[in-house]
Chains A and B, each alone.
Chain A
Amino acid sequence: GAGVSQSPSNKVTEKGKDVELRCDPISGHTALYWYRQSLGQGLEFLIYFQGNSAPDKSGLPSDRFSAERTGGSVSTLTIQRTQQEDSAVYLCASSLRHTNTEAFFGQGTRLTVV
């Protein structure tokens, strides 16, 4: 596609519910990243996929968070039993190769847990 696409753009959910966030990277990009940005904060790394390699999950804050990438393309970030502290903007990015190339970001999904 023309750019990284994320859906939904906004999500309001009740505490304790599960949510799924979707990322559609730029076609042909083998690397995909998820970051979290809390209000007024920097970028918190969550997870990184590169081709068929095992993902780097070192940034996932708890076992309530998981992500998968099907067919090396679309990725889904799942948050189970959401908590209020999960409220943030979740950003997805993709890059053409895993070495020294720029990452392209989506517009993000703003998650609000009430």
Chain B
Amino acid sequence: GNSVTQMEGPVTLSEEAFLTINCTYTATGYPSLFWYVQYPGEGLQLLLKATKADDKGSNKGFEATYRKETTSFHLEKGSVQVSDSAVYFCALSTAGTGNQFYFGTGTSLTVIP
């Protein structure tokens, strides 16, 4: 079946620290992979995506590389800011019938000045 396993939080970092949030997946076929972000009191919004192996998605200083050999899509940022405090969700989308978006449980990130 299809599933996403995401690093559990909460994660607390100091401003300018390096961030990694691990995400691994199980999927049939060739999924697309996504990171969504949910800022406090807001809905989910797409942060970045990758649609095939070795693609790198990037946005707002965040990056993630689609690694088929390790079935991973880890989120990284070189220098976090207080404004990055949010909950981050890893997700995959597959072709086929039925529900096709599968989300991880989310990782809460707090960045302190």
The answer to whether residues A56 and B105 also contact, given A91-B44, A105-B43, A105-B44 and a CB cut-off of 8 A, is no
Q: How large, as a class, is the contact surface on chain B?
A: 20 to 34
The reply to whether B32 and A101 form a contact with Cβ atoms under 8 Å apart is yes
Which of A67-75, A79-87, A92-100 forms part of the interface with chain B? A92-100
Chain A residues whose CB sits within 8 angstroms of the CB of B46 once the complex forms: 102, 104
B98: Cβ under 8 A from any A Cβ: yes
CA distance A98 to B99 in the complex (A): 9
Chain B facing A: main interface SS? loop
CA distance A41 to B101 in the complex (A): 17
Contact with B along A48-89 (1 / 0, CB 8 A): 101001001011000000000000000000000000000000
What's the A-B contact tally at a CB cutoff of 8 Å?
A: 65
The reply to whether B95 and A99 form a contact with Cβ atoms under 8 Å apart is yes
A108: Cβ under 8 A from any B Cβ: yes
CA distance A102 to B45 in the complex (A): 10
* CB proximity to A under 8 Å, residues B55-113: 89, 93-95, 97-101, 103-106
Chain B residues whose CB sits within 8 angstroms of the CB of A105 once the complex forms: 36, 43-45
The reply to whether B94 and A100 form a contact with Cβ atoms under 8 Å apart is yes
- State how many angstroms separate the Cβ of B92 from the closest Cβ of chain A: 9
Chain A residues whose CB sits within 8 angstroms of the CB of B95 once the complex forms: 98-100
B51: Cβ under 8 A from any A Cβ: yes
CA distance A43 to B99 in the complex (A): 13
CA distance A103 to B44 in the complex (A): 10
Contact with B along A16-58 (1 / 0, CB 8 A): 0000000000000001010100000111010010100100101
- State how many angstroms separate the Cβ of A23 from the closest Cβ of chain B: 12
